[in-house]
Structure 1
C-alpha cells in the first residue's frame, strides 16, 4: 500500500507541475497577444479557468495525502494526550473520507453525468464540460484513499 501511496503522490506532483506550467504559459501568451500583437486569443481565458480548477482540486487531494501540509486548526488537538489525539485524528480522517465520498464522488459524479448527458460544451475550446468536471470525483476517490492510508498509518504508530 505504501508503494501505491508513493506512486500516486509522484503522479499528482507531476500533474500539478505540468498544469501549473501550462497555466503560466497560457497567461503569458494572453498578455503578449493582447499588448504586443494587439489581439487577444479567445481560448486563453477559458483554458486558464479550467486549468485553475484542475490545479486547485488536484492540489487539495495532494495536500490531503501530506499529513502535515494542509491548513488546519490544531491548537486544541495538540493539547490532547497522545492517545486521544490519535483517535481524534482518525475521526477527522474518516469525516474527510465521508465528505469526499458524498460531495465529491457522488455529487461530482452526478455533475459529470449530467453535463455529459446534456451535451454541454465550453464556448471557446468546445470541450465537453463533463471532462473538465471529471477531476472532482477522481480527486474524491484520491482523498478517500489518502484518508484510509492516513488512518492505517495512525494505527501502526
Structure 2
C-alpha cells in the first residue's frame, strides 16, 4: 500500500511540475511572439487551456491523496480515538462516491460526447480535454482506498490541523 501511494505521489508530482513548466514556456512564447516578433502564436491559448485543465485535475488527485484537501473540521477536531478514525474513513468514502459518480461517470459521458468535436488549431478531439475527469477520478479512488486501509491499520495520522 505504501509503495503504491509513494509511486503515485512521485509520478503525479513530476507530471504536475512538467505540465507547469511547459505552461510557463508556452505563455512566455506567446508574450515573446506577440510583443517582440509581432506575430502572435495561434495555438498557445488553446494549449494553455488544455494544460491548465489537466494540471488542475491531476493536482486535485494528488492533494486528495495527501489528505490536505479543504474540509470543515469543526466536528472531527473534537473526536478522539476510534470515532476520529471512523469519521476520517467516512470522509474518504464520500470522496470515493463523488469521484465515482461525478468524475468517472460524468467524465466518461462528457468525454464520449465531445470526441467528435475537434480543436481546429491543435487538430485533436475535445474529448481529450474531458478525459482528465475520469483519469483524476480513478486516481482519487485509488488514493482514497489506500488512505482507508492506512487509517484502519493506524499507519497514517488523521488529517493535520492547522492553528
| Alignment TM-score, normalising by the size of structure 2 | 0.90
- Partner residue in 1 for 2:102: 103
Unaligned runs of 5+ in 1: none
| CA distance in 1: counterparts of 2:135 and 2:88, whole angstroms | 24
| Alignment TM-score, normalising by the size of structure 1 | 0.94
Output the aligned Cα RMSD.
1.1
| CA distance in 2: counterparts of 1:56 and 1:70, whole angstroms | 13
- Partner residue in 2 for 1:65: 65
- Partner residue in 1 for 2:128: 131
1:3-152 equivalent positions in 2, closer than 5 A: 3-67=3-67, 69-116=68-115, 119-152=116-149
| CA distance in 2: counterparts of 1:58 and 1:138, whole angstroms | 8
Question: CA offsets, 1:32-67, max 9 Å, x none?
Answer: 111101121000001111100001000000001102
Unaligned runs of 5+ in 2: 155-163
Runs of 4+ deviating beyond 3 Å: none
| CA distance in 2: counterparts of 1:55 and 1:135, whole angstroms | 9
